[in-house]
């Protein structure tokens, strides 16, 4: 069984037009000292003595998926579960940085590779669809809810297509808080842009048309306790998607538009602001008495 290898950053092409996720995928085996690169924003951090990071594997429709559980050393903490972008992986710098910050707030964080990505099983082109990713996410939630290390409250984080995934699965998974980055409400404008460039990232156009066509506008009305981030210069997912999602979800909700912000959130100030506010949002709703 093959796995999709996340490529290095490319020029403006399908990496931007259909990336629906991060550009950079870095290996992370949770060493004592680890270097983090969050789209040009570099930090050195020592793994906290108050938290651990351990590999976790689970099954999703007979495929073995792999990830990491960042676990603070407190009893039965709430957990945030992350869903990465289309061509990204669990080693997304956004997720790693957010996981560490969540641990500082006493929250666990589970980041995993969807089927066909990273070191999870499955051939990317054969197993990738929004429905399949929702199933992966639902199984990850079930895994965490059955874990003796985790409390009862679950939050969800999704970047780009990962945002569409958690928004689609939120109701069935009964998540109690959501944070998204550059989430698309529908695939049509993204697919149109990819078709216009002719750069299909080594996959036929039929793959995108068949597997990645979606519109989640009818799944949003029951969603609340959501914080959304979106750059107003996003060249992949138009900022209009954020405004439409925001208009359809329920209170409490918060929309943060990043001025001149692009899809992968390259601006270091945006990155720092996102990590701080996202972790605080999860803490507000998941650490309630």
**SS3 label, residue 118:** coil
What beta strand segments (E) does 47-133 contain?
51-60, 63-72, 79-83, 108-112
Let me know: does 161 contact 129? Beta carbons within 8 Å: no
Q: Residue 70: what pLDDT?
A: 98
Asked whether the bond before 252 is cis by omega within 30 degrees of 0, the reply is: yes
Percent of the chain with pLDDT over 90: 73
Per-residue pLDDT reduced to its tens digit, 54-68: 999 999 999 999 999
Beta-bridged to residue 155, according to DSSP, are 80, 177
Q: Is 185 exposed, middle or buried (0-12, 13-18, 19+ CB in 10 A)?
A: buried
Per-residue pLDDT reduced to its tens digit, 79-131: 999 999 999 999 999 999 999 999 999 999 999 999 999 999 999 999 999 99
19-23, 74-78, 151-155: least confident range? 19-23
Largest Cα separation within the chain, whole Å, is 53
What does DSSP assign to residue 193? H
CATH class of 14-286: alpha beta
Is the pLDDT at 166 greater than 70? The verdict is yes
Q: Which pTM value belongs to this model?
A: 0.84
What is the Cα–Cα distance from 165 to 84, expressed in whole angstroms?
Answer: 9
Which residue ranges make up each domain of the chain? 14-286
Q: Give the pLDDT band of residue 17 (cuts 50, 70, 90).
A: very low
Q: Give the pLDDT band of residue 206 (cuts 50, 70, 90).
A: confident
Q: Residue 36: what pLDDT?
A: 38
Copy the structure tokens of residue 289: 């008495």
Per-residue pLDDT reduced to its tens digit, 227-265: 999 999 998 899 999 999 999 999 999 999 999 999 999
Let me know: does 199 contact 17? Beta carbons within 8 Å: yes
Other CB atoms within 10 Å distance of the CB of residue 282: 29
What is the Cα–Cα distance from 41 to 97, expressed in whole angstroms?
Answer: 11
Q: Residue 235: what pLDDT?
A: 87
């Amino acid at each position: 069984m093959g796995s999709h290898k996340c490529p290095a950053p490319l020029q403006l092409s399908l990496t931007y037009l259909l990336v629906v996720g991060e550009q950079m995928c870095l290996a992370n085996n949770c060493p004592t000292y680890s270097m983090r690169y969050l789209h040009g924003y570099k930090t050195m951090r020592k793994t906290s003595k108050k938290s651990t990071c351990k590999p976790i594997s689970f099954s999703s429709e007979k495929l073995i998926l792999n990830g990491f559980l960042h676990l603070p050393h407190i009893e039965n903490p709430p957990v945030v579960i992350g869903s990465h972008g289309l061509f990204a992986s669990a080693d997304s710098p956004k997720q790693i940085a957010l996981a560490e910050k969540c641990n500082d707030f006493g929250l666990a964080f589970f980041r995993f590779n969807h089927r066909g990505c990273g070191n999870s099983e499955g051939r990317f082109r054969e197993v990738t669809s929004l429905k399949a990713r929702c199933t992966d996410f639902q199984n990850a939630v079930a895994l965490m809810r059955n874990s003796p290390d985790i409390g009862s409250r679950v939050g969800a984080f999704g970047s780009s297509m990962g945002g569409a995934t958690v928004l689609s699965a939120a109701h069935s998974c009964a998540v109690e808080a959501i944070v998204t980055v550059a989430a698309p409400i529908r695939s049509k404008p993204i697919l149109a842009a990819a078709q216009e460039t002719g750069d299909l990232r080594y996959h036929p156009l039929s793959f995108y048309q068949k597997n990645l066509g979606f519109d989640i506008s009818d799944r949003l009305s029951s969603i609340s306790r959501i914080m959304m981030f979106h750059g107003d210069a996003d060249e992949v997912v138009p900022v209009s998607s954020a405004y439409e999602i925001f208009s359809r979800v329920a209170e409490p909700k918060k929309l943060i538009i990043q001025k001149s912000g692009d899809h992968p959130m390259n601006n270091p100030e945006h990155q720092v602001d996102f990590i701080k506010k996202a972790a605080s949002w999860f803490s507000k709703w998941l650490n309630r008495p």
